[in-house]
Amino acid sequence: MPLNIMTLSRVDMPVSQAEGLKILERDQYCCRYCGLDGKASFENALVMSVDFVVPRARKGKKDPANLVACCRPCNTIKGTRVYKSFEDAKKYVLDKREEMRRNWEANRMRPAARAASAQPA
C-alpha cells in the first residue's frame, strides 16, 4: 500500500478509512483539482484527503459520485462554496491557485529586487 493509512485517520472526515481509501485508489492518489501526486513523496501523501464536491454543509451526499481525492491546500481553497459542477469547482480552485502563485511570486521578488538595487555599482 503506497499510502500510510495513518494519514487518513488524522483527517477529520465523515467517511471511513475504507471508504476514503476506495476513493483515493479510484483517483490513483492524485488530487482531482491540481493533479498533485499523493504517491510521489511522503510529503504529498500527508496532504492527501477526500473532498466532498458538494460540501456536507450544503447537504452533499457521502456517495462516491460526490467524493474526489483532493490535497488539503485545494480543499482549503475550495472551501464550502457551492459550485454548479465539479468542473466549475476545479476551475475556481485552479484560478485561485494561479492568483495566489502570482501574489506569492510578486512578494518574493520584491525584497530581492530591493537588495539588488541597493548594491553599490
Q: Which residues bind Zn ion (CB under 5 A)?
A: 31, 33-34, 36, 71, 74
What's the min distance (Å) between Cβ of 32 and Zn ion?
A: 8
Q: Residue 48 or 54: which CB sits closer to Zn ion?
A: 48
Q: How far is the CB of 29 from Zn ion (least distance, A)?
A: 12
- Grid-cell match 499510502, residue found: 3
Choose between 29 and 33: whose C-beta lies nearer to Zn ion: 33
**What is the C-alpha to C-alpha distance for residues 32 and 49, in angstroms, rounded to an integer?**
11
CB of 26 to Zn ion, least distance (A): 16
Which is closer to Zn ion, CB of 54 or CB of 77? Answer: 77
Smallest gap from Cβ 62 to Zn ion, in A, equals: 21
CB under 8 A, 24+ apart: contacts of 45-49: 45/2, 45/3, 45/4, 45/7, 46/7, 47/71, 47/72, 47/73, 48/3, 48/7, 48/24, 48/72, 49/8, 49/11, 49/13, 49/75
* 21 vs 34, beta carbon nearer Zn ion: 34
Determine the number of helices (DSSP H) and then strands (DSSP E) in the chain. Answer: 5, 2
